Structure 1
Amino acid sequence: MVSTAIILAITFIEIDSWASDDFLRQYPRLFGAGADGSRGMLTAIATSMITVAGLTFSLTITTLALASNQYTSRILRNFMNNRINQLVLGFFVGLFTYCLVVLRTIRGGNEDTFIPSLSVLFGLVLAIIGIGVLIYFIHHIALSIQASYIISLAADETISAVHRLFPQDVGKEAPHEKTLDVLQELAHQPRQLIPAKASGYIQSIDEDALFEFAHSHDVVLKMEKAIGEFTVQDTPLVALIGSYEVSDSNISTINQAFTISRYRTINQDAAFGIRQLVDIALKALSPGVNDTTTAILSIDYLSVILAQLAQRRIEKPFRTDESKNPKVFLVAKMLTFETFVKGAFDQIRDNAAGNTAVLVRLLKAIATIASQTANAGRLETLLNQAILVAKLADRSVEDAYNRNLIRLQFTETLQQLSAEEFLAILPLSSSQPETSN
């Protein structure tokens, strides 16, 4: 944006140099400022814009600190990547640069006078627009520190990643009878461990490059790390299965397929988006905060994400080239639907002991997710989560009224899961709460 401002300034200065003085004299109220007036106006605009840019930066930093303390530091990248923050700061700094470039061309004198009237007028127009930009930015900052905005922003980014990473709707999954046979066969073959050349989180993996390497060298590559996991330098990253002499260039080629950095991103790691919402919920459930509403809001958006995942096909780890060779060349380490569900609910459930509202909302979320899938394995995963929530409620909730609320929701959840037979094994009170006349 600063570069664009420089280009605009040079362009308007060139237009001013070719503009007819007679035309400018026809509109003295617009173009009648002299050299001193134009210089003073641009100086005032430049000074105010750099001051506003500093204010914008301060407000952004304050918001980051507040969000980090109240929610979780993992959402800071969402603020840093926010286009509105970038555009506002770029606008003010760009306008400051524009004024500086135009200001240096103003010359006053009897013989060598040059007043870029169009450039000065355009700078004034941009300054007036800047007032509106500042007002909008203050509104945006006030909105961006609200829990609902922060949670929905993280959820939207995660849902976009889900659509990108799991584009297919789930149908009838083809049975993979050879899975155990393949694993047993690979377990008895010689293997060489390819070490990681860096430490950090795995942001992305070029599976096509790994498959091409395995196919061209007629070996099997088994990924030891999945996206989002932390790897330590010189620890196993990939296992090469087969009789093949690994060279240093091969190790470099395999490592180049992995993007390792100091932090996680949602680009290929939908689990990181879930992790952000879980962190917000855990912070809200902590004794120092005790914000049940924010925790429930996080659970609601987690149910949206998991409902999307429940409808999607999560690829099997085995990669073959069926058209040419049925041999397995790549065994990828994939996150399963069960992994996503556990990552979303386990820690929240463990920290929600005795909190009736959160436990009820967890059961509602499980029922909502179950309504979006007919896959038996995924329904079993959700059933296990519902049972864990009910058992925790039985241990931690003593009030009969609250226990009955949880049992009613547990009953509805089991009905959605078509597993009503599990209701009888739980000792949650089924008695109705006492009422007064």
Structure 2
Amino acid sequence: MLNFLRKGRPHELLIRIRSSFWFVPALIVIFAILLAFSLIELDQIYDDRLLARWPRLLANEAEGARGVLSAIAGSMATVAGVVFSITIVALSLTSSQYTSRVLRNFMRDRANQVVLGVFVGVWIYCLVVMRTISDDDEWKFVPSLAVLTAVILAIIASGFLIFFIHHISSTIQASEITASITRDTLRAVDRLFPDEIRNGSEMPEAHELQAGQRWYPILADAMGYIQGINAGSVLAFACERNTVVRMESKVGEFIAPGRPFASVAMEHPPDASTCRDLNRVVAVGIYRTIEQDPAFGIRQLVDIALKALSPSINDTTTAVSCIEHIAVILTRCAQRSMVSLRSYEGDTLRVIARRPDFAELVSLSFSQILESAEGNTEVLLRMLLALEQIAYGTCARQRLATLRLHVRQIEQAALRGLKADEALQRIRDSVKRTDAVLDLSESTKMLDCAPVSRP
């Protein structure tokens, strides 16, 4: 952990902590230990007065208190093992039924982490309290308040067990998995593309180098996926060296040592310290994360759809659900400006950061699914309906052209794969309806672009 802090990669550290299965349980265990010591101290100070006021609740013999704490500790340890086993089984089933890429969603699930932490925390609490019980003739001490709290915690933990069984049975359902991925992806889209598109064109501005400058590549010193880029640190780096940084790789792309991931505009080749400092502001890991990478959320939904359309599973309903959720994400993207992010120092351009392109996201969403669904009428119809829904959200000419291209591809796939006249006619009717919506959206193209209203 300290290694990440020294490297100046707090984003990567935050991702690892959030997705780890131990961090929240560790905090709960620490809280349980502090609670145990606090209640023991209160018992030592106020024991006589508390016993006199609530004798029925707090009166305990040393042997009876040990028995209660032993029973609670033993049952909590057993239940914690059961919870861990159920979680592992759920992870295995999810990986085989859907895709291994959604496992990190379960690892990041706060409910699973809290439930495991509660049972382990109550177990540790009982052990800490039990060791303070003494029935020696010279010094007798029974922490009555702490023992009563242990009973209350055991009752609360029983409620957590019921909640966990309900929660885990819900989270392994396809609808819940796709909805969870969609929510995370929409939050990433809102963070990455906060601005609404205001006109029908998104052509990035070209940057002209100053006299004597040229682009020099910065080579990566790590292997893995780009999980995040610290925009503030990149801007500070560019200002300090009076240069322009152009990111050649997007968040979510795989890089390897020796591969250029960025370029700097300088008069002379960058030295080793320059390359090292720029590498430090890029978080690289062995897996993709969704915080700055909405394409990864779409990738997960596509993988679930492909698994559902495989001959071994053949689950059209799940594939249709994935397409419906992809349509929600792309509709949000269609309304947002997705040009390359540019950061300035005053009026001076300092950073050019690549971001996902709308055409790339649409292709990622539909191309592979289309290859696996040529003969599936329901999936093809749902894809056309998704394109129609996305078309209502934009009037940008380039984006509408992208949607038209995929309508034509779906139409061609239907002609190749469908044999029944009724199915072909349904596809033709849907294509006409989608084309009409695209025409309507393009006809409303104005300087201040806004989504069209459904007729």
Q: TM-score, length-normalised on structure 2?
A: 0.86
1:54 aligns with 2:81: yes
- The residue aligned with 1:352 is 373
Structure 2: give runs of 5+ residues left out of the alignment: 1-27, 443-455
Return the alpha-carbon distance in structure 2 between the equivalents of residues 16 and 32 of structure 1: 12
Residues 353 and 174 of structure 1: is their aligned pair in 2 closer, same or farther, counting only changes over 3 Å? closer
Q: Specify the alignment match of 1:242 in structure 2.
A: 266
Task: Tell me the CA shift for residue 162 of structure 1.
Answer: 0.9
CA RMSD of aligned residues (A): 2.1
SS of 1:164's equivalent? helix
- In the alignment, does 2:190 pair up with 1:163? yes
| Residue in structure 2 matching 1:86, options 90, 101, 113 | 113
**What's the CA shift string for 1:83-132, capped at 9, x where partnerless?**
00000000000000100010011111344111111110010011111111
Are 1:315 and 2:336 matched, yes or no? Answer: no
Runs of 4+ deviating beyond 4 Å: 173-178, 317-321
Q: Which of residues 252, 259, 263 in structure 2 aligns to 1:228?
A: 252
Which aligned pairs between 1:308-387 and structure 2 lie closer than 5 A?
308-316=332-340, 318-321=342-345, 323-325=346-348, 328-387=349-408
In structure 2, the CA distance between the partners of 1:270 and 1:92, relative to structure 1 (3 Å rule), is: same
- Structure 1 residue 388 corresponds to structure 2 residue 415: no
Selected match of 1:71 from 98, 101, 110 = 98
Instruction: After TM superposition, give the deviation of residue 18 of structure 1 in Å.
Output: 1.3
Decide whether the 8 Å contact of 1:193 with 1:238 is kept in 2: yes
Q: Which of 1 and 2 has greater Rg?
A: 1
In 2 relative to 1, CA 353–175 (structure 1 residues): closer, same or farther, beyond 3 Å?
Answer: closer
Deviation at 1:164, TM superposition (A): 1.3
Cα distance, 1:369–1:284 mapped onto 2, change above 3 Å: same
| 1:6-405 paired onto structure 2 within 5 Å | 6-21=33-48, 23-172=50-199, 179=206, 182=207, 190-316=214-340, 318-321=342-345, 323-325=346-348, 328-405=349-426
In structure 2, relative to structure 1, the CA distance for the partners of 1:174 and 1:380 (3 Å cut) is: closer
How many Å separate the matches in 1 of 2:123 and 2:410?
Answer: 57
1:258 maps to a residue whose letter is: V
Give the total of aligned pairs. Answer: 414
| 1:375 positional shift | 1.3
Q: Report what 2:13 is aligned to.
A: none
In structure 1, how many angstroms separate the alpha carbons of the residues matched to 2:40 and 2:213?
73
1:215 Cα offset (Å): 4.1
**Aligned residues of 2:203 and 2:339 also touching (Cα < 8 A):** no
Amino acid at match of 2:166: H
Question: Which letter maps to 2:314?
Answer: N
Q: Deviations over 1:335-394 (max 9, x none)?
A: 111111111111111111100000000000000011111111111111111111111111
Do 2:200 and 2:397's aligned partners in 1 also have CA atoms closer than 8 Å?
Answer: no
What do the CA deviations read for 1:187-208 (whole angstroms, capped 9, x no partner)?
Answer: x964322110001000111234
Q: Look up the SS of the partner of 2:216 in the other structure.
A: strand
Q: Give ranges in structure 1 of 5+ residues lacking alignment.
A: 422-437
Rounded Cα–Cα distance in structure 1 between residues aligned with 2:241 and 2:146: 64
Report the CA distance between 1:148 and its aligned residue.
0.4
Aligned-partner Cα distance in 2 for 1:56–1:194: 47
Secondary structure in structure 1 of the residue aligned to 2:373: coil
1:241-282 per-residue CA deviation (whole Å, 9 max, x = no partner) reads 331241111011111121111110001001001111010000
Residues 396 and 419 from structure 1, CA distance in 2 versus in 1: closer, same or farther, beyond 3 angstroms? farther
Asked if the contact 1:25/1:31 (under 8 Å) is kept, the reply is no
C-alpha spacing 1:213/1:405, structure 2 compared with 1 (3 Å)? same
Give the corresponding residue for 2:437.
416
Return 268-277 or 251-260, whichever deviates more.
Answer: 251-260
AA at the equivalent of 2:46: A
Contact 2:47 2:144 in 1 (8 A): no
- Is the contact between residue 370 and residue 416 of structure 1 (CA under 8 Å) also seen in structure 2? yes
- Using the alignment, how far apart are the partners of 1:15 and 1:311 within structure 2? 59
Counterparts in 2 of 1:208 and 1:127: CA distance versus 1, 3 Å: closer
Q: Deviations over 1:5-47 (max 9, x none)?
A: 0111011111111124254145333122211000000000000
Deviation sequence 1:60-92 (CA, Å, 0-9, x none): 000000000000000000000000000000000
Q: Aligned partner of 1:230: which letter? A: F
Instruction: Give me the whole-angstrom Cα distance separating, in 2, the residues matched to 1:205 and 1:15.
Output: 49
Query: How far 1:414 sits from its partner (Å)?
Result: 0.8
One-letter amino acid matched to 1:92:
F
* TM-superposition CA deviations, 1:301-336 (whole Å, max 9, x none): 000111111111113355555x434xx543332211
Deviates more, 1:221-230 or 1:16-25: 16-25
CA separation in 1, counterparts of 2:194 and 2:235?
21
